[in-house]
């Protein structure tokens, strides 16, 4: 078996890790004060940063999950799943962030979340876990932007500092719970200029740029981003698109039987950024993103491709 290519680069994933408890299937919304018995439940780590880190661990990519933690019965369990990162997480005297979700027969889901530790993650917590000087080629991914409310308020300074330290910066903000507004765009533009990659889905891309087509959205966003930046739109069953200066790429999704789309975008981010930290080109990164996401959403229990099969794609090119 071939050895994994050497790299001295690391991907730092910054954001929300929480407990997800998903129960299936709720056919009818229960009456207040009653108990509904559902067929199955699944308890797992979640959150954008958590989902991405699970995929990175399976790919054996060099990564660190930069986060914080609460102080209850779930704390040790979450930490035990990320043994290389968790010793650096600061503990807050609060509940672990937890999402309880129910799935409906049409595959829609309803979620309930507490606040917990993720709203307390601060810039100081992050900067203490990220080396003061980046290795050439290191990336930081910021995700769960709108849920990490304390950190979000510090984004302009956080991104500026990470840039000063020499990191390339990717952001997957997700959809803002209060919807896009001009005021929010004005805030986001303050950090967009530090951003080397935006990894959003279609509606998020359109909303962020306030545009009608993905092409015009990407062009508008790229103009405000760092030099040589990528704007990536994740398009569900249609795969993913990438725009950079003088470059447009499309990678179709592999046809898969979907069993659970939770964290599709986060799994994509793991594949996409893994390719970049190995110094591979954006076309390969798109392929890796689509492959990792396709594998994750079509398996139960969840599976990811191994690095050998991803590097196999490189050889085919």
- Does position 256 bind ligand ATP by CB under 6 A? yes
Nearest-angstrom CA–CA distance, 246 and 223: 12
Sheet bearing 139-143, strands edge to edge: 63-66, 11-14, 139-143, 168-172, 197-201, 230-234, 240-244, 247-251
Nearer Cβ to ligand ATP (134/200): 200
CA 205, CA 198: separation in Å to the nearest integer?
9
Least distance between ligand ATP and beta carbon 262 (Å):
7
Task: Return the number of the residue (45 or 239) whose C-beta is nearest ligand ATP.
Answer: 239
Closest to ligand ATP by CB, 70 or 265: 265
Q: What x/- string results for residues 227 through 266 when contact with Mg ion is judged by CB under 5 A?
A: --------------------------------------x-
Which of ligand ATP, Mg ion, none does residue 239 bind (CB under 5 to 8 Å by kind)? ligand ATP
Over the Cα atoms of the chain, what is R_g? 19
Comparing every residue's Cβ against ligand ATP, the nearest one is 265
Give the integer Cα–Cα distance in Å for 45 and 79: 10
Q: Determine, following the binding rule CB under 6 A, whether residue 173 of this chain makes contact with ligand ATP.
A: no
Torsion of CA 108, 146, 266, 277, to 10 degrees: 170
Tokens describing residue 244: 């950079």
Give the Cα separation of 267 and 233 in Å (integer).
Answer: 14
295 is an interface residue for ligand ATP by CB under 6 A:
no
Residue corresponding to tokens 């970049």: 276
Pick the closer one to ligand ATP by CB: 138 or 266.
266
Q: Contact region for ligand ATP (CB under 6 A) — 13-21, 97-105, 140-148, 253-261?
A: 253-261
> How near is the Cβ of 241 to ligand ATP at its closest, in Å?
9
Ordered alpha helix ranges (H), the chain? 48-59, 73-81, 123-129, 149-153, 155-164, 182-192, 202-209, 214-224, 264-277, 282-297, 307-316
Q: Does 264 interact with ligand ATP (rule: CB under 6 A)?
A: yes
Per-residue binder mask for ligand ATP (CB under 6 A), 193-232, x = binder: --------x-------------------------------
Q: Which residues bind ligand ATP (CB under 6 A)?
A: 201, 234-237, 239-240, 253, 256, 258, 261, 263-266, 268, 290, 293-294, 297
């Amino acid at each position: 078996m071939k050895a994994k290519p050497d790299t001295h680069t690391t991907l730092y994933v910054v954001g929300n890790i929480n407990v997800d408890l998903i129960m299936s299937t709720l056919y009818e919304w229960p009456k207040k004060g009653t108990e509904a018995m559902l067929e199955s439940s699944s308890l797992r780590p979640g959150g954008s940063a958590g989902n991405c880190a699970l995929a990175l661990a399976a790919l054996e990519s060099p990564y660190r999950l930069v986060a914080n933690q609460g102080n209850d019965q779930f704390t040790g369990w979450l930490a035990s799943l990320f043994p290389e990162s968790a010793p650096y997480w600061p503990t807050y005297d609060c509940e672990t962030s937890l999402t309880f979700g129910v799935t409906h027969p049409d595959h829609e889901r309803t979620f309930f979340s507490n606040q917990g530790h993720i709203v307390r993650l601060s810039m100081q917590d992050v900067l203490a876990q990220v080396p003061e000087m980046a290795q050439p080629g290191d990336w930081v991914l910021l995700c769960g932007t709108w849920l990490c409310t304390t950190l979000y308020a510090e984004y302009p300074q956080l991104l500026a500092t990470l840039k000063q330290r020499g990191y390339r910066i990717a952001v997957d903000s997700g959809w803002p719970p209060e919807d896009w507004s001009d005021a929010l765009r004005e805030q986001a533009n303050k950090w967009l200029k530090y951003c080397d990659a935006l990894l959003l889905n279609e509606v998020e891309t359109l909303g962020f740029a306030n545009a009608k087509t993905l092409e015009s959205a990407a062009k508008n966003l790229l103009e405000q981003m760092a030099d040589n930046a990528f704007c990536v739109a994740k398009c569900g069953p249609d795969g993913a698109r990438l725009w950079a200066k003088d470059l447009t790429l499309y990678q179709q999704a592999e046809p898969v039987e979907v069993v659970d789309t939770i964290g599709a975008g986060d799994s994509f981010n793991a594949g996409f950024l893994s390719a970049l930290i190995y110094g591979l080109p954006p076309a390969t990164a798109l392929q890796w993103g689509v492959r990792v996401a396709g594998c994750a959403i079509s398996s139960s229990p969840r599976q990811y491709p191994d690095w050998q099969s991803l590097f196999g794609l490189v050889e085919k090119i």
